[in-house]
Structure 1
Amino acid sequence: MARRLLPAALAAAAVAGALACVAPADAAVATANLAPSSAQGITIYGAGYGHGRGMSQYGAQGAAKKGLSSAKIVAFYYPGTTLAAKGNPTLRVRLSAIDNGHFTLVPTTGATVSGVVATAGNGTKVSLPARAKWHVARSGANYVVQEPVTATTWRTTYTLRAPVTFSGPSALRVAYSKAKTDCRGGGSVTFAGSLQAAVSDNASRFLARMPIDTYLRGVVASEMPSSWAPAALQAQTIAARTYATAKITASRYYDVIDTQANQCWDGQTSETAATDAAIKATAGKVLTVNGKPISAEFSSSNGGFTAPGGVGYLVSKADPYTSPTVWTKVVSPSALAALDGPLGLTTVTSVKVIKRSGGGRWGGRADAVQLIGTKAGGKAATASMTATSFRVKLDLKSNYLGFTQ
């Protein structure tokens, strides 16, 4: 995963409530990076939500409330970058929910799908007659385009060589063969652009193609509440446009994925007047280093200190715009013992962070964690793992964490 997003399905107030736990007194926070286990387990204290690299979305909102412009916000979170105009290139968005599946074109308005032109890989063009719906599925190196016979059966009307591009009307509505469970999710997506049915790795793949600023209309409100300050929405737009522009490549069949693996894209479901205005206000603007778009990572909250990203524009530093709120989670002894996998720890006597990034509370974000305990029969054992694995397995909000003393 490239980054951790602000959960699109949560309202801003709900996310804020999840982060705004009461911080313990300093004396109750472990500074030796060691937490003894007990019958009740251990309490983990952490800050932020997500990886913490690049822009903090809550920080962007905080900075906007203090009067910073979007240009100043992105300059703070991506130091050493230049804000440049890169136009409005076409982007290919992989519809991940229906990888190796199929789809149905359904009406966006009215009772029929009309005005669609299907162009095959060998140049053959077919204007699809108006129908209640059209079903598209792979057949070897081809795609069959089928019209309904009954509510549950189809008749093949056209067989077209892959890749097949569907275009024509002002918008397409694509009903998925399998529901999308990431981001806003759902069984369909509506967007302005064309749809390509391709074959890659001997599997059916489907790509929504559109100008990048059209793509952003389905991204920005999925990544940040549209009720937030205009400068924050503009900063989010610049970061999202930059991230997507940097992903454009000829080395694979798609540029970006429509999930948190890259950034959430939900088509017209996520379009709002406020986020459309932010896109228009920042049209074409991306962040560059030496003329090239950067990987503009962002996360929900960095907990008051940004995380290092291994490049000059993703630095570790205090963030005065993001509240350093702290969350807590109690982890049982059995949950700790289950973390080590095949080693077979039955009892964990201590948990220790053995490597940190530096900077901020607790000596910085955890990079590596060590579990010390015993196996069956009482034999001493030690298991080490990355902090990312530790965080994911325990469903922690971030790896910016410490332990009780």
Structure 2
Amino acid sequence: MLPYTLIQEADDRLRKRVRRTELIHSHHFSEKLGVPIYFKCENLQRTGAFKIRGALNFMTSQPREALAKGVITASAGNHAQGVAFSADLLGVPSTVFMPESTPPQKVFATRDYGADVVLTGRNFDEAYAAAVQAQEERGALFVHPFDDPLVMAGQGTIGLEVLQELPDVANILVPIGGGGLIAGIATAIRETHPHVRIIGVETAAAPSAHYSLQKGKIVQVPVTVTLADGIAVKKPGVNTFPIIRDLVDEVVLVEEEEIALAIVALLERTKLLVEGAGAVPLAALLNRRVADLSGKTVCVLSGGNIDVKTISVVVERGLVAAGRYLKLKVELDDLPGALARLATEIAEAKANISIITHDRRSKSLPIGKTEVLIELETRGFEHIQEVISHLQGVGYLVDVLK
């Protein structure tokens, strides 16, 4: 288990070096969910995520000679930036192995902090294996992204901060990847507030802790592509899993569309930009994954490092999932005014055309016909049905596109 004293020492060590992130009460989500909702905004942390806490605590705990050959690690992005920033602060070289699929924004940011970035492997586990091999060859100090007591202790300082600001917290929802974040937070909270309900959240694309708890032992699961790339880990840590098993009340899963909706909701309602891994706690609440919820509830928004390209995709997926975006294919007679008439009927249905593509060259079209692909802004699923019904009612054959 993780000694509580390590977290207290980490709090003393990090107090002047990392940001004490805001704990924000959300009126909107409190009203929507029927319980007081608070967000612990680690997306506003230096380097954009909580990982700096564990990395810096680990490195500042080492004797200077241990850092002489530099540090090395593997990461999907946020730990990479935490290690790179910490190494730069301490004046030691750092090398970070990252999966080839890592979002460019996280790669660029890691390099900007001074790290030598090596892109290798299809996922975190393959990058991790390459990092371990390089560490053995070079003799550099390895900074584990989650499965180390000092790293977990650094992450646990989040729990201390929550308790200091909100001592009557009833529930806390925490993302789970390898488990370092929730292991540290759970240890910090259970020591003085054993009644607090601690809930872990994973993406269904990487449910390693969920299935490990079901089996009662660490199991490896396949990982698929996910918006929550920061928690896409095949198995929990050897050191983190026993803490999750003993201190965490439950682990729930969320789907990709639910994560996208949560990211969009946070943008619109709180003006907070959060990456997929950081949005999973709110996704769990919005989709009622947690039963019998009552009392003050904290969602740990673990990070905000999301690249512009991903934001555009996420926003579109979130709007589609919320019924606020509709894609249609409509076949028209290839006659003057046919397209204008269709646009008029769409306006009658109170939908707004976002994108329209007019194609009369498709081989599948009969002579004299043209195909129109339309993307519409809508006001929800009820409005979508109204638009489709109206167009069908005036004689159009409408195909809804996914």
Structure 1 length as normaliser, TM-score?
0.22
Structure 2 length as normaliser, TM-score?
0.23
Of Structure 1 and Structure 2, the greater helix share is in: 2
Which structure exhibits the higher relative contact order, with contacts defined as CA atoms closer than 8 Å and separated by 6 or more residues? 1
